[in-house]
Amino acid sequence: MPTTIIQPNKKKFKKVKVDPITLDIIESSLRSTRFEMDAVLFRTAMSPGIREQNDEFPMIANSDGKMVVGQFGSFIHGFIDAYDGTLEEGDIILTNDPYACGGAISHLPDWLILLPVFRRGRLISWVAMFGHMTDVGGKVPGSLPTDAESIYEEGIQIPPTKIYKKGKMQDDILELILHNCRLPHWNRSDFNALIAACRLAEKRIIELNDRFGDDVYYTSLEKVLDRNMRAMHHLIQTNVPEEKQYFEDYICDDGVGMGPYKVACTMWREGDKQIFDFAGTDPQSISSVNFYLNPEMFKMFVGVFMIMVFDPQILFNDGFYDLVEVRIPEGTILRPIKPAALSCRTHLLGRIFDIMGGLLGQGAPDYLSAAGFSDSPHFMYSGYDKKGDWYQLYQIGFGGIPGRPFGDGPDGHSLWPDFTNVPNEFLEAYFPLRIETYETITDSGGAGIHRGGNGIRMGYCFLEDGKVAIHDDRWLTYPWGVNGGTPGMRSNKIMVRVDGTTELLPAKIDNVIVNEGDILYFNTWGGGGWGDPFKREATLVARDVDRGLVSVEGAKAYGVILNKDGSVDEKATKALRAKLTKARGKVELFDFGGTIEEIKARCKEETSFDPPRTPVFDRRVMHLSDKAMAAE
């Protein structure tokens, strides 16, 4: 049964006249409140993933649950439909269970706080905030086990739970949860920070309603949502063809020897609706790389992507959601069946953005971006130091952002635009690490009129014995180039042991034993290039060489020859570009670096690893699917 909202005041909201200045004040106030929520969280959380890297997402929604400002789109409709209970003033919900909220939270380390905002006995808004906890228990430190076969191995599951009832904290429930975490003091601090951020938003919303009245507030939010719907309707009508567009991409492997896993999607427009159909996507994995893709979350991805590409002035919110339909077959790697493991879903989360770019760009190649939103790599390091104290680091790495229609891709930037790196000074101060190197990888970005961003090389020197875990992708498949641009370089992880021996590590591996003095070189992928590299201004290539972003030899990928003093050899460059242009022939829309079969065939020669095996539909999944169908 759906959630029952207990409201002593059942008076319905009325739509009233709102002048443009009042509308602007309310909209700007909510935007400001959203950033105040962030500020409160960053200043009160303890884990570096939230405090330093900003791995959190706020939301403010109207009384119907539609997000008005925020980052991750609204999941409240799904929550209301799934939560069989009551909600009243003073209640606050805590959950981290993906299967209990339709994938709105996509793995257990993300803790979600959901707070209904009441004023004078009436629900006037919703606020929410979630953050990634460094640890929630499970079989490995960090709670992201690569080889988990079920969600029960990944940490404590918290179904939607009233952590506050009528304003009273449920201490016994929180203590039970914290008892299952390796860093309970961090989790407690982060939990309180999430609550504080939502409390602040609640206060600001009530202040707005006290100032302008509930009906003006309600009407203003409706206007903001309607404006977004009209703007997105125009974008869909002008940029999404009725003819079906198909695209596919792959994550390289699942960490247990299977892969690559294909994500297939077809997009088209029917009347006013933009439709995405993921039929043809590979079956779910027996490991933890599955991504329970919430349709509302995917709509958010679509809206953000289209707005950023076609009209960045549009305020993003949930107003347009009725214009998008998402179809995801059950039992696939994007809609796994419980109890499939989900902790390492980040590889697919990143790959979804590359796939959207490939789909939306086919009908408008001038707006097509290359690949590079390819992953959000994780590094974890834990153990007991010489004093016997436990240390545990969870950190997100960055790769190269793709070349884009309007410029080069940034070097070593986050998948999420609001994320930041953990300062090296912070790492060295709080963890037994020394950062040996932190630099962009020369020539790792794909060549093009607009160069793909370079990946990052980060050298971790371990000062204590311990264990590390690595979660990354794009070690097999390439971040593809577009419109003549070439693919970016792939990622790799190299361990240099204290005795001088070198190991090439898999991209997905847990429990790697390290000793004091070992150095891990964590090398991420580069972004694909955009446009014909032989048309890039030769002086820009010379500048990139001077800055160390491109090598003298790498400049030849642009058909550029440099003199000894670093200047462009105009005559030699013109001749080389003519020769390379003729040899290349027709410029293709996409350059994947070869077919998936060709890439797999080259795998051992290029990486020393055996190519992953073709994924199959696990018999246990078939059994679970049959049971689910029978129950329906």
Residue 352 and residue 420 in one domain: no
Q: Which domain holds residue 493?
A: 369-532+587-593
Please check whether residue 560 lies inside any domain of the structure: no
Name the one residue in this structure whose structure tokens are 């933009």.
274
pLDDT at 219: 97
pLDDT at 630: 47
pLDDT at 365: 83
Please check whether residue 500 lies inside any domain of the structure: yes
Please check whether residue 320 lies inside any domain of the structure: no
Please give the Cα distance from 203 to 221 (Å, whole number).
17
Q: In the chain, how many domains are there?
A: 3
User: Half-sphere exposure (CA, 13 Å, Cβ side) for 6?
Assistant: 9
Element (H, E) at 300: helix 295-310
Q: For residue 532, what are its two tokens?
A: 């014909």
Residue 506 and residue 628 in one domain: no
CB burial of residue 546 (10 Å; 0-12, 13-18, 19+): exposed
Q: Which residues contact 562 (CB under 8 A, 6 or more apart)?
A: 542, 545, 552, 555, 568, 569
Residue 112 and residue 222 in one domain: yes
Residue 408 is given by DSSP the state P
Please check whether residue 316 lies inside any domain of the structure: no
Residue 374 and residue 518 in one domain: yes
DSSP SS3 for 415: coil
Residue 260 and residue 175 in one domain: no
CB burial of residue 463 (10 Å; 0-12, 13-18, 19+): middle
Given a contact cutoff of 8 angstroms between Cβ atoms, the answer to whether 109 and 341 are in contact is no
Max CA distance (Å), the chain: 82
Given a contact cutoff of 8 angstroms between Cβ atoms, the answer to whether 561 and 555 are in contact is yes
Residue 194 and residue 265 in one domain: no
The 10 Å Cβ neighbour count of residue 436 is 14
Averaged pLDDT in 10-residue chunks for the chain of 632 residues: 84 95 96 95 94 91 91 73 87 94 89 96 95 96 97 96 97 98 97 98 98 97 94 90 94 94 96 96 96 90 80 80 95 95 94 90 84 86 96 93 92 77 93 96 97 96 98 95 96 96 96 98 96 97 97 97 96 97 92 94 88 75 51 44
Q: Which of 195, 211, 232 is the last residue of a domain?
A: 232
Residue 77 and residue 160 in one domain: yes
C-alpha distances (whole Å) from 454 to each of 29, 42, 187, 323, 440 are 38, 29, 35, 36, 6
Residue 483 and residue 624 in one domain: no
Name the one residue in this structure whose structure tokens are 């959203």.
34
Name the one residue in this structure whose structure tokens are 């439909």.
81
Residue 86 and residue 125 in one domain: yes
For the chain, the residue count is 632
Please check whether residue 565 lies inside any domain of the structure: no
Residue 382 and residue 358 in one domain: no
Given a contact cutoff of 8 angstroms between Cβ atoms, the answer to whether 196 and 131 are in contact is no
pLDDT at 430: 95
- The pTM (predicted TM-score) of the whole model is 0.93
Please calculate the CA angle 344-347-348 and round it to the nearest 5 degrees: 105
Residue 38 and residue 66 in one domain: yes
Residue 621 and residue 515 in one domain: no
Sheet containing 261-270, strands listed edge to edge, beginning at the edge strand earlier in sequence: 245-251, 261-270, 273-277, 324-327
